[in-house]
Structure 1
Amino acid sequence: MLRILKIGGNVLADPDALDQALSFFASFESPAILVHGGGREASELLKKMGHEAKMIDGRRITDAETLEVVTMVYAGLINKKLVAQLQAKNCNALGVSGADGNLIQAHKRIVKEIDYGFAGDIDAINTEGFMRLLEGGFSPVCCAITHDKQGQLLNTNADTIASSVAVALAADYEVELQYCFEKLGVLMDADDDESVIEHIDPSKYEMLKKEGVVHSGMLPKLDNAFAAIGNGVKAVYLGNLKSLGNGKATRLSL
């Protein structure tokens, strides 16, 4: 089985939680892929530079200055820190962006109602490239930067990357996709950390959206998760390290 773990911004920002997440990942039997963003750190650096981050429905507006910062933060500092920490845990990690080995090709999002700037929508996953890394004994650590193969880097949602990579590799592997964030799972009541929704199917998801239970940044995460389930990925789970480890995380199915 191929396990793909996506870690969220709150995990990245908490040294103890991050250490536990990396230990969890390092314990996987090969093969495995780690996907990360780093939005909180990027937003903090942008603020220090006097450039306020702009978000709409959980998605970042990426102007030219923001693109430079997210590339430095995602593909540079965070990615290499994760690789170094995984190496310390005897996990042979290799940090990559979508441009490395042409692993993830995308195009600049077409402007409709909202101009997202240099946001990238994925066109193709280089399955052979990922498979060569996995078969070579490496655990790819993939940041949220893609490219258009015309020299332009693009900022792509890390949840989308995790889902797209999972779908692309599902033809060759039995894939399990896990989204690791700070909560035990998707919550019925945002103020009650124990109100985990154990199972969500498409009809229940529509109901949760209509009732406003699921909103903001959780929407693209769940959209991507259901896209994966509908395209050959065996299982998708959402939760924190505790619930993912004990089987109590939210499970998605058709």
Structure 2
Amino acid sequence: MKQKLSIVKIGGNLIEDEAGFKQVLELFSKINENKILVHGGGQKATELAKQMGVESKMVNGRRITNAETLDIALMVYGGLVSKKIVAKLQALRTNAIGMSGADADAIRAHKRPRKNIDFGYVGDVDTVNTYGIFKLLQAGFTPIFCALTHDGKGQMLNTNADTIAAELAIAMSDQFDTTLYYCFEKKGVLQDINDDNSVIQHINSKDYDELLAYGIISDGMLPKMHNCFYALRNQVSKVCVGNTNMLEADNSDFTTLTL
């Protein structure tokens, strides 16, 4: 029987919410099995870019990354946010280690080809170093991945954190029974964006197509849901979407996705 692995992705809005940030790290630290945390930091990156007079551009929920915004992403994702998370988890007796895709050659990517939109220094994942990550877990470390990859030729790349979480979950599913959690400020996928209690508790592939057609899933949820079903189609055991309470054993008020 495979060991269990929980991969928890937390977004930038949750990181900026002091109470929610504290809660999710406390709940994450209590997960007894193997675990990996993946974090964004887009809101903090946007704030810093504004302070520096650098314009931030988004298309379909994804960030356009030029040379200036890539440097900001490196500072925020790989530095400021990563080290705060690692330090707080160490205080919670979780032996965390901050990682980008370049560290231990963990996640290698290529620069996204220019088609209709030029995303700049944005990476699409090619490979995950499952052996290296497995050895870290085996040694008792908890990897904390930020939204950065590399191309193996010295170039860092900005990569959507939801995508990194999905790619990690898929790659590690050969060795582990993997559950992927997308943790953000809402209780789950909402039928009505203005009603926090309108959680859709189960979504399958057919439901997903209908929700897209009716525009219920849109904007920033588009890449998240794409990655959820991408993971499910590639052997990930379970995908859940919800707020920090989702990580509590007795909570069921979140969205579970299946094929």
> Structure 2-normalised TM-score?
0.97
1:202 is aligned, of 190, 201, 205, to 205
- The one-letter amino acid of 2:54's match is H
Q: Which runs of 5+ in 1 are unaligned?
A: none
Shift of 1:244: 4.2
2:83 aligned residue: 80
1:123 aligned residue: 126
1:250 aligned residue: 255
Q: Does 1:239 align with 2:245?
A: no
Secondary structure at 2:256 match in 1: strand
1:220 aligned residue: 223
**Distance (Å, rounded) in 2 between the aligned partners of 1:170 and 1:52:** 39
1:10 aligned residue: 13
1:31 aligned residue: 34
Instruction: Report how many aligned residue pairs link the two structures.
Output: 254
**Distance (Å, rounded) in 2 between the aligned partners of 1:181 and 1:89:** 21
**Distance (Å, rounded) in 1 between the aligned partners of 2:213 and 2:238:** 25
Q: Is the 8 A contact 2:24 2:244 kept in 1?
A: yes
Q: Does 1:147 align with 2:177?
A: no
Q: Is the 8 A contact 1:238 1:244 kept in 2?
A: no
Q: Does 1:89 align with 2:92?
A: yes
Q: Is the 8 A contact 2:212 2:218 kept in 1?
A: yes
- The one-letter amino acid of 1:27's match is K
**Distance (Å, rounded) in 1 between the aligned partners of 2:100 and 2:91:** 21
Q: Is the 8 A contact 1:3 1:177 kept in 2?
A: yes
- The one-letter amino acid of 2:76's match is V
Q: CA RMSD in A?
A: 0.7
Shift of 1:30: 3.0
**Distance (Å, rounded) in 2 between the aligned partners of 1:157 and 1:201:** 23
Shift of 1:247: 2.0
**Distance (Å, rounded) in 2 between the aligned partners of 1:50 and 1:94:** 32
1:49 aligned residue: 52
Secondary structure at 1:179 match in 2: strand
Q: Which runs of 5+ in 2 are unaligned?
A: none
Q: Percent identity?
A: 52
**Distance (Å, rounded) in 2 between the aligned partners of 1:204 and 1:197:** 10
Q: Is the 8 A contact 1:96 1:143 kept in 2?
A: yes
- The one-letter amino acid of 2:245's match is K
Shift of 1:241: 1.4
Shift of 1:243: 3.8
**Distance (Å, rounded) in 2 between the aligned partners of 1:30 and 1:155:** 29
**Distance (Å, rounded) in 2 between the aligned partners of 1:174 and 1:40:** 32
- The one-letter amino acid of 1:117's match is G
User: Could you list the per-position Cα deviations for residues 110-155 of structure 1 after superposition, in whole angstroms to 9, with x for gaps in the alignment?
Assistant: 0000000000000000000110100000000000010000000000
Q: Is the 8 A contact 2:27 2:247 kept in 1?
A: no
**Distance (Å, rounded) in 2 between the aligned partners of 1:25 and 1:64:** 34
Q: Is the 8 A contact 2:28 2:247 kept in 1?
A: no
